[in-house]
A and B are shown apart, each in its own frame.
Chain A
Amino acid sequence: MKLPWKKLPEQIRRLAVVSLFLVVLPFIVRSILVPSDFGKYGHYRASAVDEIIAMEIKYAGHQVCYDCHDEEVESKQAGVHKNVSCEICHGPAAAHSEDDEIELIAPRDRDSCPLCHEYLSSRPTGFPQIVSDSHEPMKACISCHDPHNPKSEKSTECEACHTEIANTKSLSKHVNIACKECHETPDAHKTQPRMFLPGKPVNREFCGRCHAETAPSDKDIPRIEMETHEEAYVCWQCHYPHLPEAE
């Protein structure tokens, strides 16, 4: 008996073999080129995720430091640096936490603290900043400030509550003008702040005591002509008295 395959004309049989090859070939090529786990969870190689998570961790996280360095952690927790993670200043510590032969850096020069604390007008208002050129030149920061628990003089005066304004004013030309110079404050304001409110300047002439052309103040102080300078406004509608340089 003749096979049905043999019944087909020769040219059809050849064509069939070629077509079969063309249909199967892409599947063979695909199975070689596409990794076996491609598409297991989506249109990607599933083991790529395993390769990425196999990376070495270098920053151990602040919890790890707490296991050994009780003293430093305790002093840090008490101060304004309590949320400043150890590894910001001391560098990645994962290797050190495994093997304490590997030492971490401890910046003691004047270069590190200004990364955060040098005055930049773009920094948020109230963030403690210094101008390092004029702030105790040549002296290392840590000779006065404990980096784990830095302190500026604790005050019971205005800045104890009005810190943000005090920090802003400390950067301004008005730094040496006492708060009470402009804000007449009853003593009772300290105990009942809302009952006894401090005063505020009410008119242009107040600023004019220093800034008017005829004022008997230091000659370096910027002057304006009170009669013609934006006479429709009071000064603090345009100038911020706690940081008059910021326009």
Chain B
Amino acid sequence: MKKNLPNKSQNVNRRKFIKNLVLAVTAFSVPAVLTAKEQLKRMQSWILGKDYNPFDHYWGMGIDINKCIGCGRCADACKQENDVPSEPFFFRTWVERYRIFHDGEVRVDSPNGAVDGFKKQNIEKGKVTIRSFFVPKICNHCDNPPCVQVCPVGATFITPDGVVLVDSDYCIGCRYCIQACPYGARYIDPIKKTAEKCTFCYHRVVQGLVPACVEVCPTQARVFGEVKKKASPLVRFMRMNKIGVLKPALNTEPKVYYANLDMEVN
């Protein structure tokens, strides 16, 4: 009897199997979809400060190298606003002076991160400068941040508005992120022994202010604004200028956009 099973009943079994499969998959995915929906709803009602919803914003910065006069007020204001240690190796933003010579040599210096401005520096006789300019540097708040990828404990993260932050209570001070950052934008705080970096002055941004470095820039070489909204000083800046980013080959997708960037800058 068993070996004479008709083909028909076999077909019914297969149909039944597929039916059950579909039912099972649906049954399992319904709670997942519901919780995801719930999660999204909860996230989109995330309010910081007074009435700041991080899901409504996406921040970036523009820096025009042709406008930077190298006064270093940004580096100074950053240290004061964010209580950055005053020793000359802790900077959240700093200004570099590039000097490109006729023989192809490129010299980059940043005495005390330009907190005290730049002094005239004599060059050897016979050396001919062909180009020279200042480049303000800051955390690029990458869209694809290598520092966040390597953090073993989830102490550094990117917020919904595109700002890369460090949870210094949760950081274990392992320095992986400092190694991973291709822009040298992080340091270990000498007191807390945890990683620190530019926050785009997040505490100011949620109150509707611009970062301290942008506030004090006397020539408006720095511009802060929304990356994805049409009415934004940054979008206007990106429309009006020829834009470049630092180390584009690394696919970090920086959100600090440079205008008039020289090939030698990295």
Contacts and interface: CB of A to CB of B under 8 A. Distances in A.
Contacts of B69: 116, 123-124, 127
Contacts of A44: 154-157, 167, 170
Contacts of B212: 58-59
Contacts of A49: 48, 54, 159, 165, 202
A85 B222 CA distance: 13
Contacts of B118: 120, 122
B97 A122 contact: yes
**Chain B interface bracket (under 10, 10 to 19, 20 to 34, 35 or more):** 35 or more
B120 A45 contact: no
Given A115-B72, A120-B118, A54 B203 contact: yes
A110 to B, nearest CB: 13
A61 B209 contact: yes
Best-buried of B46, B73, B98, B199 by chain A (most CB within 10 Å) = B73
Interface stretch (B12-20, B24-32, B128-136, B231-239): B128-136
Contacts of A118: 117, 120
A42 B218 contact: no
B203 A45 contact: no
B203 A123 contact: no
Nearest to B131: A122
A213 interface: no
A59 B120 contact: no
Interface in A23-59: 35, 38, 40-45, 48-59
A247 interface: yes
B136 to A, nearest CB: 13
Contacts of A121: 129, 132
Interface residues of A, number: 42
Nearest to A123: B69
Given A43-B154, A44-B155, A116-B71, A122 B133 contact: yes
A42 B157 contact: yes
Nearest to B154: A43
B143 interface: no
Interface stretch (B3-11, B76-84, B251-259): B76-84
A115 B133 contact: no
Contacts of A45: 154, 167, 169-170
A4 to B, nearest CB: 29
A57 B208 CA distance: 12
Majority secondary structure, A binding face: loop
B46 A41 contact: yes
A59 B130 contact: no
A42 B167 CA distance: 13
Given A49-B48, A62-B215, A116-B218, A124 B120 contact: no
B203 A115 contact: no
Nearest to B81: A58
A49 B207 CA distance: 14
Contacts of A35: 170
A247 B202 contact: no
Best-buried of B128, B130, B215 by chain A (most CB within 10 Å) = B215
Interface string A113-132: 01110111111100100000
Contact of A53 (B49, B67, B98, B128): B49
Contacts of A55: 82, 203
Contacts of A62: 215
B167 to A, nearest CB: 3
Interface string A43-84: 111001111111111110110000000000000000000011
Given A53-B48, A121-B132, A122-B134, A48 B120 contact: no
B120 A92 contact: no
A247 B128 contact: yes
A125 B130 CA distance: 14
B202 A61 contact: no
Contacts of A84: 218
A127 B209 CA distance: 28
Minimum-distance CB pairs A-B, first 3: A48-B167, A44-B157, A122-B132
5 contacts: A52-B199, A57-B204, A59-B212, A87-B215, A247-B128
Interface of B: 42-43, 46, 48-49, 54, 66-73, 77, 80-82, 97-99, 102, 117-118, 120, 128-130, 132-134, 154-160, 165, 167, 169-170, 199, 202-204, 206-207, 209-210, 212, 215-220
Given A43-B154, A58-B212, A85-B216, 7 more contacts: A45-B167, A56-B203, A57-B203, A59-B209, A115-B117, A118-B120, A246-B129
